[in-house]
Amino acid sequence: MLLRHTTDKINERSALTINPAKTCQPVGAMYAALGVHGCLPHSHGSQGCCSYHRTALTRHFKEPVMAATSSFTEGSSVFGGQANLLQAVSTIFSIYKPDIIAVHTTCLSETIGDDVNQILQKTRDDKLVPPGKHVVHCNTPSYVGSHVTGYSNMVAGFINYFPQKTGNKINQINIISGWVEPSDMREIKSIAAAMEVKIVLLPDTSDVLDTPMTGKHEVFPKGGTTIPEMVSMGNSRSTIALGPFCAEDAAIKLENKCKVKFTTLELPIGLKATDRFITALSRAANVSVPDSITDDRGRLIDMITDMHKYLYGKRVALFGDPDTLTPLVEFLITLDMKPVYIVSGTPGKRFEEAMNTILKPVVPEAKYMNGQRADMFLLHQWIKQESVDLLIGNSYGKYIARDENIPFVRLGFPIMDRVGHSYFPTLGYKGGMHLLTNMLGAIMDKMDREALEEKFELVM
């Protein structure tokens, strides 16, 4: 057994986390910063942080992930990291020439109390930032929240720096995206285009982390939200924040800064959440929903009706991030499945409230937990007590799936052992069909593998 020490006996834990369902803030900040055009993420801390985050993102996307580091030594930890950051800004602008350096902190620079805002002001005052170029930042202490928090903080960081209100309203909608794949960001743009709504999507990692093979490596690929787009967000009609954990904070900051009203929605995963997104977007932009989208919706429902018998009553265990899990759980309920075990390492009361609302009436037996020690070890122990028919989560789930012989669908971050997530969306109606295809494939492959010979079906 791969996880041979995991048993169904649950010991009370108050200090030890085992097999976490989260990682730390800076990797989220790095991912978000890659969704801005011409931006080089910069990790203000030890080299290891930057190396680990680049590695995790590279393995997930199988794409170049460029980022720099302040390369702290023991000396910088004692005397402060200002000299390192000044040097870094100067080195980066002269060698790699980005338009923006997006600095995020680490537990190291936060613990010693580096004032990054002040240091970056010094880089501007000392003329280390060439004309037309920018240095921006956010604080991402690794001992608060999770990777999700880091993503949220970096997006809010861009909002702090760029959007301007000039008084001339532009007929466009801001969409602040939660942590999703480049494929999903592409899908959001495609839905908006079908509805003929002009949007600014922040961040946007499509054409950054799904670039074509051309024989040339672009350190700054063509994708990403541009500076003029970010500046214009202050004049947009309104903002839709997709994901309370990842996107709402930026929307609040934008409203405070530029008086752009916002609506927070769950990520459009599954039927109902996508319905709400399409409705909200059509109202915000004052456009009607085109037939092509209504047809996509119909196709998703058609697929569900066709395959419902393979989904009905199936018990599902999930782990991942709140913004993904909440609409996903709702979608599973729509399919008449039973999400029975759910964990997320990311803290926050809203997750528990959302789970209460969705699950209490229909799956009262469901167990869910988030925050410290809401980890995959606990999830596995619940599964040991009573198994499930499907497991959904990142690549680490494969160890549980193999030990317990559970069909497994990869969704979340990181996915290091399969491809496709960055190319085929999970968001929207089409994304729903893709997700459904993966779930049915996993469930039905197991049926095929284990059916008695006389019960083996050609047509399913």
In Å, what is the CA distance from 111 to each residue of 107, 115, 139, 141, 321? 6, 11, 11, 8, 26
Give the three-class secondary structure for 33.
helix
Find the shortest distance in angstroms from Cβ 45 to other proteins: 7
**How many CB atoms within 10 Å of residue 155?**
32
Tell which one of 8, 79, 87, 353 touches other proteins (CB under 8 A). Answer: 87
Choose, by CB under 8 A, the member of 29, 36, 39, 65 that binds other proteins.
65
Tokens coding 196? 């003929």
Q: At what angle are helices 25-34 and 47-61 packed, to 10 degrees?
A: 60
Q: Which stretch binds other proteins (CB under 8 A): 61-69, 225-233, 260-268, 310-318?
A: 61-69
Question: Looking at 30, 36, 72, 258, which residue binds other proteins (CB under 8 A)?
Answer: 72
Binder to other proteins among 125, 131, 132, 216 (CB under 8 A)?
Answer: 216
Tallying the residues shown for the chain, one arrives at 460
- Give residue 11's identity as a one-letter amino acid code: N
Binding mask 249-268 for other proteins (x = CB under 8 A): --------------------
Q: How far, in whole angstroms, is CA 268 from its chain's centroid?
A: 13
> Is 49 a residue that touches other proteins (CB under 8 A)?
yes
Q: Which of 51, 256, 294, 357 binds other proteins (CB under 8 A)?
A: 51
127 binds other proteins (CB under 8 A): no
Three-class DSSP category at 29: helix
Kindly give the pairing relationship between strand 390-393 and strand 315-319. Answer: parallel
Closest CB to other proteins among 150 and 243?
150
* 375 touches 343 (CB < 8 A): yes
Site for other proteins in 90-109 (CB under 8 A): 90-92, 94-96, 106-108
- Binding of residue 146 to other proteins (CB under 8 A): yes
Token pair belonging to 43: 């990790």
Contact track, other proteins, 293-332, x by CB under 8 A:
----------------------------------------
- Planar angle of CA 136, 140, 142, nearest 5 degrees: 155
Q: Which amino acid is at 259?
A: K
Q: Which two tokens stand for residue 212?
A: 């074509």
Q: Smaller CB distance to other proteins: residue 74 or 457?
A: 74
Interface of this chain with other proteins, residues 344 to 373, rule: CB under 8 A: 345, 372-373
- Site residues (CB under 8 A) for other proteins, limited to 7-36: 11, 13-20, 22-27
Dist CA 283 CA 288 (whole Å): 8
Closest CB to other proteins among residues 9, 309: 9
Q: Closer to other proteins at the Cβ: 74 or 125?
A: 74
Whichever of 82 and 264 has its CB closer to other proteins, that residue is 82
Q: Which residue in the set 2, 193, 419, 460 belongs to the binding site for other proteins (CB under 8 A)?
A: 2
The verdict on whether omega for the bond into residue 228 sits within 30 degrees of 0, i.e. cis, is no
In this structure, what DSSP letter does residue 2 have? Answer: T
Q: Using CB under 8 A, pick the residue from 118, 127, 143, 305 that binds other proteins.
A: 143
Structure tokens, 143: 């001992």
Our finding on whether 122 is near other proteins (CB under 8 A) is no
Rounded Cα gap, residues 98 and 91, in angstroms: 11
CB of 211 or CB of 334, closer to other proteins? 211
Chosen residue from 118, 168, 214, 288 binding other proteins by CB under 8 A: 214
Residues within window 391-450 making contact with other proteins, judged by CB under 8 A:
396, 399
Instruction: List the one residue from 105, 123, 142, 326 that touches other proteins (CB under 8 A).
Output: 142
- Reported as half-sphere exposure (CB side, CA atoms, 13 A), residue 153 has a value of 25
> Quick check: 198 and 189 in contact, CB under 8 A?
no
* Residue numbers 368-387 binding other proteins by CB under 8 A: 372-373, 377
